[in-house]
Amino acid sequence: KTGRGRFRNDLNILLCGDPGTSKSQLLQYVYNLVPRGQYTSGKGSSATGLTAYITRDPETKQVVLQTGALVLSDNGVCCIDEFDKMDDSTRAVLHEVMEQQTLSIAKAGIICVLNARASVLAAANPCDSRWNPKLTIVENIQLPHTLLSRFDLIFLMLDPQCESFDKRLATHLVSLYYRDNTRSNQRSESIDNEMLRDYIAYARTFVNPRLSDEAGQKLIQDYVQMRKVGAGRGIITAYPRQLESLIRLSEAHARMRLSNTVEEMDVNEANRLYKEALKQAATDPKTGQIDMEILMTGLSATSRAKSAELGKLILQNLQGKKSMKMGELYDTCRSAHKDGFTQTQYEMAVRDLLEEGKVIQTSNRHIRLKELSA
């Protein structure tokens, strides 16, 4: 909270990737570690279960409001597993919580605004059960880009298919089923869960870091540099929301050091962590370059350019014709296009032309130019 308003200081993180990469185990560990944590699964969650529902008190017979997982995890972490399997209506309630950290309720005459100052830690699997490196993150997990843009960090957890990694992982898993004396010393060096829980609670309660002048100037320089990366190619590589994420990450790193001042070293570490996550989640698979519009609009610059090119091809094939069937037009354009395209890209180009008012689609699956409709 500053003199000009209250800003969100909790981080939202999304883990996505191949099945069997311990995403659920990480969520369970965080849930057991954080004092005010809630754990839920996307398939078994509803909008009322996450927010609040109305019930009648059995003794007084009055209408009461029962809070859900997001409100109960206030000042904590809400862990949501199987995030990709949630209904659209259930995911819609997260937009307000993940940005404003409040929950507006208007049910059965009860109108109120509840605090939901919680970090959201979610895990999602790709729609094809296997991560496709040729597709963007939006196409892989089929989540709305308006929700993806609200996550500060998006990490991919992929199966590397490396023999040394497989051996190390198998050794660790097998050692969990019997007592290994050679690993007892390594376990003793790890931090105890009780101590780590107290450390986190102390840092959240008593440490409130503020930006120093050097850290503020460093944040400005990093943001401007991020914007310059895609300026020459006509691609937006950073939005103001990314600057806010860098500020939150810097404050979190300073809080981890129990420091009340955010220094330049905190900004450097936040920038490194953010770029690492960005390199995984916002990279255009066709060009290999970072394109933030994948997360903001759901489409990369390459996809938008191809859609515009396909739209011009559709208009050329409709010239001088009264109308064409959608299937016939698809075959004609596909034979004329040198690189080829998918059915989804074709439907998206037609939808853009319909929204622009350049073509009209009739009820019998015919399409024609708007000039011929008079």
Residues sharing a CB contact under 8 Å with residue 215, sequence separation 6 or more, in sequence order:
250, 262, 263, 264, 266, 267
Nearest to 17 by CA among 142, 153, 137, 150: 137
Q: How confident is the model at residue 4 (pLDDT cuts 50, 70, 90)?
A: very low
Mean pLDDT check: name the lowest of 144-148, 239-243, 253-257, 306-310.
306-310
Q: What is the Cα–Cα distance from 204 to 201, expressed in whole angstroms?
A: 5
Nearest to 348 by CA among 312, 304, 315: 304
Residue 80: both structure tokens together: 């949501």
- 111, burial (CB in 10 Å: exposed 0-12, middle 13-18, buried 19+): exposed
Residue 246 has pLDDT above 50, yes or no: yes
Residue 368 has pLDDT above 50, yes or no: yes
Residue 153 has pLDDT above 80, yes or no: yes
| pLDDT 10s digits, 110-139 | 888 888 888 999 999 888 878 888 888 888
| pLDDT 10s digits, 20-76 | 888 889 999 999 998 888 999 887 788 878 888 888 888 888 888 888 888 888 888
Residue 141 has pLDDT above 80, yes or no: yes
Q: What is the Cα–Cα distance from 294 to 304, expressed in whole angstroms?
A: 10
The pLDDT, as a whole number, for residue 2 is: 47
Using the Cα atoms of residue 366, residue 367, residue 372 and residue 374 in order, give the sign of their dihedral.
Answer: positive
Q: If you average pLDDT over every residue of the chain, what do you get? A: 83
* CB atoms inside a 10 Å sphere around CB 156: 20
% of the chain residues with pLDDT over 90: 20
- Whole-model pTM? 0.80
Q: Which amino acid is at 208?
A: N
Nearest to 62 by CA among 105, 103, 106, 108: 108
Cα distance between the two ends of the chain:
59
